[in-house]
Amino acid sequence: MQYTGSDCPVCSNKFGADDDIVVCPVCGTPHHRDCWRANGGCKNEDKHKDGFVWINPASGVALPDLKGPADADKNASGKLSEGNVKICPRCGEANAPFEPVCTRCGERLKANRKTIDDSMPDFNKRPFYGYGENPNPNNFSPYQNVYAADAKMLYGADTTIDGIPVSEVAEYVQKKSNKYVGDFLEMQEKKTKLKWNWSAAVFSVFWFFYRKMTAFGFAVIAILFSVNLMSSFVTFTVYEKYRPEVYEEYSEDLQELNDMISEVRSSGMQAFPDNYESVMLKILFSPIMLTTYIIQLGVYLLLAVISGFFGTYFYKKKVIKDINTLRKIAVDSMSYHIYIAQRGGISNANVLLPILCYMILNTISSYL
């Protein structure tokens, strides 16, 4: 481990090979996890405003096997001078000044005080080991983002979910990636499909569209629409057969209401008759309508509970399936990460789709 032998800034004890270490995402200072919690964060937090960056004493700020433009910044000993390197704030690795991200862990690097504009290499010429049939999840990419970096720090760069590195899963999930990656790992460890999700339970169909799970969203809409039609049909049929007096009273009230509406339209009246509201309320709160409401509410609550318990599982399956598909079709690292950004994440616009669908279906049902 790259921190073995270095001192923890809180307890001053040296890091061992098996120690649980947390690295400050701002300055790269390593801490024992318990020390980090006890201190309430980074020991060097007061230095962050001055641009402090922790340098691993064991690294010697040396970059192995650097060639090309970086050679111009090497000192007489063959190492990069401290003033002309970018120190990774996550792992402490010393990088050439032209590197956009750490060549060791993929963390995004801040611009060095001394920039060499004419030394920028062509990243398209970097070797790409493929995300095809035999992908290499450790392949270097200049397209690592903050979601991927956070997942590596929290869960480890070697941690995988169904064979996919957590960094790529987080890169796909984007918003709330730490929460969902943690949930996916917990489900994987416990070998369960159940994980309660309040967002999926409360917002149900809207949550599916928000997370770009359109197939599930349309399925929920289809179920709800079918239930609405069937509940009305079943309720009317049951009451007509077993409670004919209630059914006849409802039919009479409904006919009276329709007559009022027709009269207003034909005569050009500006207002409905005085008893219009009382007839409307009588219909809305009739035993037939209340029974229909209860059936529809029961089905909605059942779908909400199912979404709450299985929503995260459905989302996990979609994430893994999409990533595996993108790995096969991507021709290089750039296209792979572009595909992930496009396919994953959230969509605020998608939330409008169920509303539009309900409006269309309600219009259609009014003619049935």
What pLDDT digit, counting tens, does each position of 235-272 carry?
A: 999 999 999 999 999 999 999 998 888 888 888 777 78
Rounded to 5°, angle at Cα 244 from 241 and 246: 125
171 has a pLDDT exceeding 60: yes
CA distances, 24 to each of 28, 110, 208, 262, 339 (Å): 5, 15, 35, 72, 30
**Residue 246 burial by CB count (10 A; 0-12/13-18/19+): exposed, middle or buried?**
middle
Residue ranges of domains in the chain: 21-125, 129-368
**Residue type at 50 in one-letter notation:** D
Asked if residue 50 lies in contact with residue 32, where contact means CB atoms within 8 angstroms, the answer is no
Residues in Cβ contact with 172 at an 8 Å cutoff, skipping those fewer than 6 apart? 319, 322, 323, 340, 343, 344, 345
Percent of the chain with pLDDT over 70: 76
- Lowest model confidence (mean pLDDT) among 114-123, 211-220, 275-284: 114-123
Q: How wide is the angle at C-alpha 189 spanned by C-alphas 338 and 207, nearest 5°?
A: 50
| Of 177, 175, 189, 220, residue with least CA distance to 311 | 220
b/e sequence 51-79, b meaning 16+ C-beta within 10 Å: ebbbbbeebebebeebeeebeebbeeeeb
What mean pLDDT is predicted for residues 180-189? 94
More confident residue, 126 or 253: 253
Backbone angles phi, psi at 95, to 5 degrees: -125, 155
Confidence of residue 91 (pLDDT cuts 50, 70, 90): low
Does 64 or 44 have the greater pLDDT score? 44
Taking each continuous run of H as one helix and of E as one strand, the counts in the chain are 12, 6
Whether pLDDT at 296 is above 60: yes
Structure tokens at 201: 């339970």
CA distance 32 to 10: 8
Specify which residues 7 forms β-bridges with.
Answer: 14
Among 42-56, 128-142, 154-168, where is mean pLDDT lowest? 128-142
Query: Average pLDDT in the 44-57 region?
Result: 79
Residue whose C-alpha is closest to residue 340's, from 172, 144, 210: 172
Whole-angstrom Cα distance, residue 345 to residue 203? 17
Whole-structure pTM value? 0.58
Give the CA count within 13 Å in the CB-facing half-sphere of 216.
24
